Amino acid sequence: MNDLNRTTTRVVRVGGDQPYDVVLGRRLLGELPALLGDGVRRVLVIATQAMAASAEAVRADLAESGYEALLAEVPDAEGAKTAEVAGFCWQVLGQANFTRSDAIVSLGGGATTDLAGFVASTWLRGITVVHIPTTLLGMVDAAVGGKTAINTAEGKNLVGTFYPPAGVLCDLAALESLPTFDFVAGLGEVIKCGFIADPRILELIEADPAGIVARGGKLAEGGTSEDVLLELIERSVRVKAAVVGEDLTDHGAREILNYGHTFAHAIEQVERYSWRHGAAVSVGMVFAAELARLAGRLADDVVDRHRAILTSVGLPVSYRGDRWDKLLGVMRRDKKTRGDLLRFVVLEAVAKPARLEGPDPVLLAAAYAEISEGAPTPRTIPL
């Protein structure tokens, strides 16, 4: 029997002014009405065409529970995060007479979550939204934290809101059919949580990277075995929940969650979103680590550890070397930038994040050279 079939339900509470639960386990659809709350009559399920069968099952289950349930299909991946698609969703809500007491349910990956949260936050200035993420990235990142956004031609996530959901349902069964590279890309955000706050995450992956990728990793501890995948997800959610509960609107502690993201978002835009987010974050973390090392703030062995653990699960650690001017231009529009001052989240040690403001352009170019394809082989830890 697959170990995930024996997964027990776990709940992570996200605090703040609008607290909510992230429920992890299996067969969680029965939890949905409680998260939607009292008084909801209509529910719009927003999902991609690839999730059509699952979305219809959710819609039918809601209908059987007495809701007027509708389904809106949106494009896959970043193609969903446009003003045009948001406008389509608003049109559906308007034509179905959705009121402030009605709700939206998202079903899909991080892009679907971002879009649905944005639509919910803007319709009548805010209606209930519950997220059902179906990817690892969605479970540990996009669905938790209350950030919503759509993209513009000028950059990723430049238009958005802070809007906590009423709850999140993470059904681990969805990960069994997830394409391997999509799962691996999600590990980029998991590993990020390890570097910024929870070293145990790194230890679990380093102990059995192949098993984790196969979604069947197990470690023997004290004569007992544990479900490592569930622990990785729960720990990652707890890292984000702790930060978001303290700083919902990104004015302080929450910035650490953007470790690797300044460079990652630049890659995504330059590559016209053909890169998966977690893969871009992987390269972005190595760039940030090299930048911190060059600035004298991070030891060589921690930089080496970045490359080793990311490579061990199949994530990229380098990027083409002929895009610096374009990447720099995009980074200057990053949300952490203040005026002309570039600001990066860096590490001073594992689980010790900090900020690096206005780094010397020479250091930036040197860090880019270190992660450029064709650069000299870096110091490495044997895999």
Residue type at 318? S
In this prediction, residues 295-318 reach a mean pLDDT of 98
Residue at a domain's end among 150, 177, 204: 177
In this prediction, residues 85-102 reach a mean pLDDT of 97
The answer to whether 265 is a known ligand-binding residue is no
The answer to whether 171 is a known ligand-binding residue is no
In this prediction, residues 323-342 reach a mean pLDDT of 81
The answer to whether 112 is a known ligand-binding residue is yes
The answer to whether 114 is a known ligand-binding residue is yes
Residues 59 and 151 in one domain: yes
The answer to whether 249 is a known ligand-binding residue is no
The answer to whether 277 is a known ligand-binding residue is yes
Residues 145 and 15 in one domain: yes
**Is 172 within the bounds of a domain?**
yes
pLDDT band at 41 (very low <50, low <70, confident <90, very high): very high
Task: Say if residue 338 is exposed, middle or buried (CB neighbours under 10 Å; 0-12, 13-18, 19+).
Answer: exposed
The answer to whether 156 is a known ligand-binding residue is yes
Residues 259 and 157 in one domain: no
The answer to whether 110 is a known ligand-binding residue is yes
* Neighbouring residues of 62: CB distance < 8 A, sequence distance ≥ 6: 32, 43, 45, 69, 105
Residues 150 and 170 in one domain: yes
The answer to whether 147 is a known ligand-binding residue is yes
The answer to whether 77 is a known ligand-binding residue is yes
Given a cut of 80, whether residue 3 has pLDDT beyond it is no
The answer to whether 78 is a known ligand-binding residue is yes
Q: Which domain holds residue 91?
A: 3-177
pLDDT band at 7 (very low <50, low <70, confident <90, very high): low
The answer to whether 167 is a known ligand-binding residue is no
Residues 226 and 169 in one domain: no
The answer to whether 380 is a known ligand-binding residue is no
* Per-residue model confidence as pLDDT tens digits over 51-70: 999 999 999 999 999 999 99
Residue at a domain's end among 162, 177, 192: 177
Residues 149 and 202 in one domain: no
Number of domains in the chain: 2
The answer to whether 329 is a known ligand-binding residue is no
Give the pLDDT of residue 192.
Answer: 98
The answer to whether 337 is a known ligand-binding residue is no
* Per-residue model confidence as pLDDT tens digits over 171-217: 998 998 899 999 999 999 999 999 999 999 999 999 999 989 988 66
